[in-house]
Each structure stands twice: as C-alpha cells, then as structure tokens.
Amino acid sequence: MNIKLQLKIILFMQFFIWGSWLITLSSYMRDILLFTNTEIGLVYGSMGFASLFMPGLLGVVADRWIPANRLYMLCHFIGAVTLFIAASITSPLMMMIIMLIHCLTFMPTIAISNSISYCCLESHGFDVIEQFPGIRIYGTIGFIVAMWIVSFLKLELSNLQLYIAATCSILLSIYSSTLPLITTTKDMTKEKSLISSLGLDAVVLFKQPRMAIFFLFAILLGGILQITNTFGNPFLRDFDKIPQYADSLVVQYPSVLLSISQISEVVFILLVPFFMKRLGIKYVMLISMLAWVARFGLFAYGDPSPIGFILLLLSMIVYGCAFDFYNISGSMFVEKSVSPNIRNSAQGLFMIMTNGLGAYLGSVISGIVVDRYTSAEKIIDWHAVWLIFAGYSLILAIVFLFIFKNDKDQQN
C-alpha cells in the first residue's frame, strides 16, 4: 500500500479515538454523573498529568529499544481496554484514575505518530515540511467525523462515546502492524553523559535559550488549548437554560458547531508551510496567540441569536488558526531543530510541555475558575470566564513578541 495512504489512515483513526470523547465527556460527567466543574477539570487534568513524563519516556523507548510502530500498536491496545472500563464508572475518583491510566498509553501515541510519519516520509524520499501537513489533515478529519457521529446519534450525554473510542483503538492497534518497521537508533559511543544514560537526551535542548523560551510558551499555550476542550461543550449546552434558546441547534447539536473548529483546521493546516517559510516560528506562534484572544472574546459575546450565532461561528473559524499555527508549526520546528538521534525524545518533550504540564494546569485552573463564577443556582457567568481567558492570551502574545527571537533575527 502507498505509504502516504497508510499514514493518512493511521492519523485518521488516531484522532477519531480522541474526537469520540474529548469534547463531549465533560458534558456527560457534569449532566449525567453530576460531577462538579472542579472534578471535571481534575479528570481532564489527569490527561495532562500522564503527559508530563510518558511521551518523553516512550519517545526514548522508541528511539533506543522498541520500534516506534510496535510500541504504537501496544499502546493503543492497552488504551482500548481502559476506555471500556471507563464507560462503566460513576465515581469522580475512579474516573480520574482510569482516565489517567488510559492517557498514560494514549498521549504518547500522538508524538509517536508524528515521528512515524516523519520517518516513513523521509525513508521514501519525501519532503517532510511539504508532505506532512497534507497527511496530518486526515487526523483532523477523523476528529470531526467522530464528533459528528457522537452528536448526530445523540450520544453526547451517553457512555457509548467511550465504547466507540475503545473499538476504534483496537482496530488501530491491529492496522498499525502493517506499517514498515521503524528501526531504533544504535548509539555506538562508549562514553555517554548522565542525561544520555538516563534517556533524557532532549532535555539538553534547554541549554539553548531560544529552545527554552519556546518550550516555556508551549506550556502556557497548552493550557489555553485545554480550556475549550474541557468546557466548550458545556458552555454551549448551558444555553438551554435560556427559554428562547432551549430548542436552538446550538443546544441540540453543540458538537456539530464545535466541529467547525476542526474543519477550520483543515484549511489553516495547509497554510502552515507557507507562513513558516516566510515568517518563521516567532510570528506564526504570535498569530496563534492573537487567534486565541479572538476565540475567547467571540465566545464571551456569542449566543444562539442571529448576530450571536455569527460570533460563535467566527470563534470556531479562528480556532483553526489558533491551533494549527501553534501545534503543527511547533512540531515541525522541533523536527528541524534537533539531531535525528533524539527526534522521538524531542517530539515527546514537546508533547510533555503542551499536552502535559500545560494541559494539566489549563484543565485544573479552568475548572476552578468556572466553579468560581458558578452561582448557588448552578448558573455560570460564561461571559466573565471567557474574558478572563482572552486577557490571559493577550498578555502571552505581548510578552512573547518581545522575548522570543525569530529564525531570521538570529541569522542577521
């Protein structure tokens, strides 16, 4: 089979699993299991906590001992088992524990899938920067299809969303066995540093001020992304508390509206190579931060009314820019900034910063903020919540503009 087609299928299924529950599980836990917003934040935070060390650890394992595609297959099999278990849980503590175990195996597969794609493309003579975005689009498509299935089948408040994800995880585990074998790196040096011996090769990147700043903002931006993943769906569903909006499409199919964010990704992901080559990583990431300001600001003033709906729609569109101009360009920046023998470790480190520490802080703090603005009658002041997050994003953009040097700045 054509290698690019194989990679497209792999990435489609990879993100289909995530799309089946990431956006809607919070509403299921809040409305059916009656978890508080802080408990929901902690459950989603367990995903970030798992990402603190597992992507880097398994990245090292893939670099040194177990071929990346074989490790990828094992992770998805274990992930499927945990999702089946999570579907029957009703306790906040147990849900946190099981989802933590699930994410210990799932989160590393995102970085590993990137590394597998880069390796396979290079071994077949393709240019990574030119070819990978077009392949990565299929991951976004998989995420969208999963959201539509869950929403149109009215499963947003059902545990069946977890069963769907588990089934796809098993199928992906089986299909990934068809990938070409990815060889591990053979280190022939007799003497290695302590960091290298521990397998923490990519940590040496922090010695470079530019890379250290990049990874710091990876944490801060990772927190932003997790906020809308956790509370975007509950926000839209809460319009059912306003009588004139109770039967609106926004309330009936919130995931379909949110999926426009992922559709927007499909467009913006194709623009990443263009802007990366002409603007460099600094201004691409700066555009991403400003897009997050717009995303939250539009959320603050949007509603199901005709004008309000346009604002919500615009917030979904700018999401594609906010996500792709940071997440995809960041991964490509790391790929081109490190040596091949620490490629998997560096991608894992990027995931630790973004989907690890950043996601954990974003999930937990956002849950606390939402509860802080929840009245005794369980009415949430979403307007204030989104303006707080918009202000945070704006501060990040201003600071980043002055302290991070672009590629061309260094060359000059």
- pLDDT value for 156: 94
- pLDDT value for 187: 54
- pLDDT value for 318: 96
- pLDDT value for 179: 83
- pLDDT value for 1: 63
Asked whether 6 and 178 are in contact (CB, 8 A), the reply is yes
- pLDDT value for 201: 63
The Cα 356–Cα 352 span in angstroms is 4
How much is the pTM? 0.82
The domains of the chain, with CATH numbers, are: 3-182+197-411 (1.20.1250.20)
- pLDDT value for 191: 43
- pLDDT value for 411: 44
Q: How many CB atoms are located within 10 Å of the residue 132 CB?
A: 25
Ranges in the chain, pLDDT < 50: 188-194, 196-199, 409-412
Amino acid at 370: V
